């Protein structure tokens, strides 16, 4: 019995905070910085969860630094700021860190390809384009309406002979694309086969919305992965390229930072692999508590609550 | 030396037939039935390879049974017959066996779901629809122009609450879809999450056309695989469900049959796993001879030619 108790004490499992005011206060006090996932934590699609503005305000009153870390690639930081405004949550654009921004930073500041051979072929929405523009990275594809059309017989020839391709494209970057087309996939495949570097803002399998799950950004890269046999370098959570960029921008002690999210295999893994002081899982999104409470669970948060608003006690 | 020679004699590797008239005749004489892949063997897209009509005519003159086995799901057998006509190749509709037909047979004759809960949600082109009709299987989706539109905010709600879903759908069937849309993927994902059986006409990674490679039917199922975590049952080559259906229809001795194709991991594997008497690889398509001549190659044909017309000697 003694041996078993010691073992349990050594691996206490995640702490359940909902309704336990003293434990909540002790947990919050341990951290200076909170990194938040947004979809599934603050809201689901257009549905704001209960007591979110108040919870955010409470953390600000305690002097915490807040960073909103999202894999949503369809929105730029500016778009996200508008979403926070419309939801009645106080947030600054500088506090938002999205996967499109992470990808733009990686391309502009890490890859640093020489112009003009530094163009990005985008499969994704305007959030990707805006963040590339903010880092002065040239791009094509994306929301170009000319690519939202049927594949014609001559397109096969013109992709094959290269006349539809831009010679300056050196990178294919995929994000969630609500407007897929066969022509877009064919161009992406052709660029990768020609040697373009294959990047993804993120490869989330699903997108939570309207209380259900929809295809995530991973569904945009999946056809290209199947067609080329290559895997993209993903720059959203749980990629540590994103954590490095966040730390570079906000300058904090990782041991005094906590990642809050709804997905074990992106958010919580992101915080654990990043060596943060803690991780908090909320049960308003993708992952269920059975997944991390199960014996042998691979990704286990430090603590969990039913919903973020429970932090108000 | 003697030991090595014996070993070589026991595993002679594939026989190269081009330019060797005596070996070609001996090879052809071994078989009563030739199963042909089409794309990459007879033609690439709209480009007919040299001496194809004459080669087909020569085999017919020798009294061979010919079966055209194609994973191309966008065309029905009737469509294929028209393609043969336009290419100047003599062929009968009954000689064509496509992956859409294979899928329709599997659904109608093997699954045999009871009406009305036997509807198929199609992600693919009219070839799939026509073959389902030929087997009297009800379907939705497919070429429905109402699904070729942008995903609207209310679509998320209506997919989530089920009002956009057809209660009779019990199967999701994917083929190559030249008209992908986020709404189509969202519906397919919702049906699979609700318990629909996930089938694919085929999961070819690439489609040869215009002398290059384009995304194949596998690119249609890939987003759903990523989003649901489920793999489809593929009914085209190399699935032996297709071989069983072909044998059931044409009634032949497998040892007297030869599969001719350009892809090791679909055509040649299909023939080997089906226990056919021989396999012939042509080098006008996807696979290169280096792949099967390499030491340790997993899928090795009995013989190969540079192009099918070389069988004329």
Q: pLDDT for A35-44, tens place per residue?
A: 999 989 999 8
Based on the fold, state whether residues B252 and B165 are members of the same structural domain: no
Tokens of B304: 């190969």
The rounded distance, in Å, linking the Cα atoms of A98 and A116 is 26
Is B181 within 8 Å of A180 when comparing Cβ atoms? yes
**Full domain range(s) for residue A60:** 14-71+238-312
From chain B, pick out residues whose CB is under 8 angstroms from the CB of A178.
150-151, 182
B118 and B230, same domain (yes or no): yes
Q: Are residues B146 and B192 in the same domain?
A: yes
Q: Do A138 and A222 belong to one domain?
A: yes
Which pLDDT band, with edges at 50, 70 and 90, does A12 fall under?
Answer: low
| CB-neighbour burial class of residue B277 (10 A; exposed 0-12, middle 13-18, buried 19+) | middle
Q: Is A214 close to B189, i.e. CB distance below 8 A?
A: yes
| 8 Å CB contact of B180 and A177 | no
Q: What pLDDT, on a 0 to 100 scale, did the predictor assign at position A210?
A: 86
- Assigned domain for A29 exists: yes
In this model, does residue A282 exceed pLDDT 90?
yes
B7: pLDDT strictly greater than 50? no
Task: Give a yes or no: residue B4 inside a domain.
Answer: no
Q: Which residue out of B20, B25, B32, B37 is catalytically annotated?
A: B37
Q: Of A179, A200, A234, which marks where a domain is finished? A: A234
Whole-number mean pLDDT of chain B?
93
What pLDDT is stored for residue B22 in this prediction? 97
Closest Cβ–Cβ partner in A210, A218, A223 for B215: A223
Taking residues A118-146, what's their average pLDDT? 97
Q: What pLDDT sits at residue B12?
A: 65
Residues A201 and A260 in one domain: no
User: Over 60: is that where the pLDDT of B277 sits?
Assistant: yes
Contacts of B203 in chain A (CB under 8 A): 226
Confidence (pLDDT) at B1: 41
Distance from CA of A198 to the nearest CA of B (A): 16
Best of A158, A194, A222 to disrupt the B interface by mutation (most B CBs within 10 Å)?
A: A222
Whether A284 and A211 map to the same domain: the answer is no
Same domain, B223 and B279: no
**End of a domain among A219, A234, A249?**
A234
Question: Which of the four pLDDT bands, split at 50, 70 and 90, describes residue B9?
Answer: very low
Closest Cα in chain A to B211: A160
Out of A20, A29, A37, A46, the active site residue is A37
For B205-259, the pLDDT digits (tens) are 999 888 899 999 999 999 999 999 999 999 999 999 899 889 988 899 999 999 9
Same domain, B126 and B229: yes
Answer whether B229 sits within 8 Å of A205, measured CB to CB.
yes
A219 to chain B: closest CA residue: B223
Average pLDDT of A266-295? 95
| Closest CA of chain B from A154, distance in Å | 9
ipTM, two decimals: 0.86
CATH number of the structural domain spanning residue B149: 3.40.50.1000
- Shortest alpha-carbon distance between residue A84 and chain B (Å): 18
Say if B82 falls within a structural domain: no
* Residue A152 belongs to some domain of the structure: yes
């Amino acid at each position: 019995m003694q041996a078993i108790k010691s073992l349990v004490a050594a691996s206490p499992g995640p702490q359940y905070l909902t309704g336990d005011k003293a434990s909540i206060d002790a947990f919050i006090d341990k951290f200076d910085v909170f990194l938040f996932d947004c979809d599934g934590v603050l809201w689901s699609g257009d549905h704001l969860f209960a007591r979110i503005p108040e919870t955010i305000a409470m953390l600000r009153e305690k002097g915490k630094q807040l960073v909103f870390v999202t894999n949503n690639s369809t929105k730029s930081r500016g778009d996200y700021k508008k979403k926070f405004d419309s939801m009645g949550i106080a947030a600054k654009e500088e506090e938002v860190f999205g996967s499109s921004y992470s990808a733009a930073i990686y391309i502009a500041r890490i890859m640093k390809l020489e112009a003009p051979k530094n163009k990005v072929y985008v499969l994704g929405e305007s959030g990707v384009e805006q963040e590339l523009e903010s880092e002065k990275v040239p791009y094509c594809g994306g929301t170009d309406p000319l690519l939202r059309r049927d594949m014609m017989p001559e397109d096969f020839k013109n992709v094959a002979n290269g006349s539809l391709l831009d010679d300056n494209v050196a990178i294919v970057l995929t994000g969630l694309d609500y407007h897929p087309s066969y022509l877009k996939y064919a161009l992406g495949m052709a660029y990768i086969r020609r040697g373009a570097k294959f990047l993804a803002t993120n490869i989330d399998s699903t997108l939570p919305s309207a209380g259900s799950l929809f295809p995530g950004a991973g569904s945009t890269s999946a056809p290209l992965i199947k067609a080329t046999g290559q895997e993209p370098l993903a720059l959203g959570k749980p990629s540590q390229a994103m954590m490095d960029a966040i730390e570079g921008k906000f300058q904090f002690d990782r041991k005094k930072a906590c990642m809050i999210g709804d997905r074990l295999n992106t958010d919580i893994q992101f915080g654990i692999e990043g060596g943060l002081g803690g991780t908090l899982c909320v049960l308003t999104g993708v992952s269920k508590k059975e997944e991390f409470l199960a014996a042998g669970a691979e990704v286990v948060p430090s603590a969990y609550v039913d919903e973020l608003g429970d932090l108000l006690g």
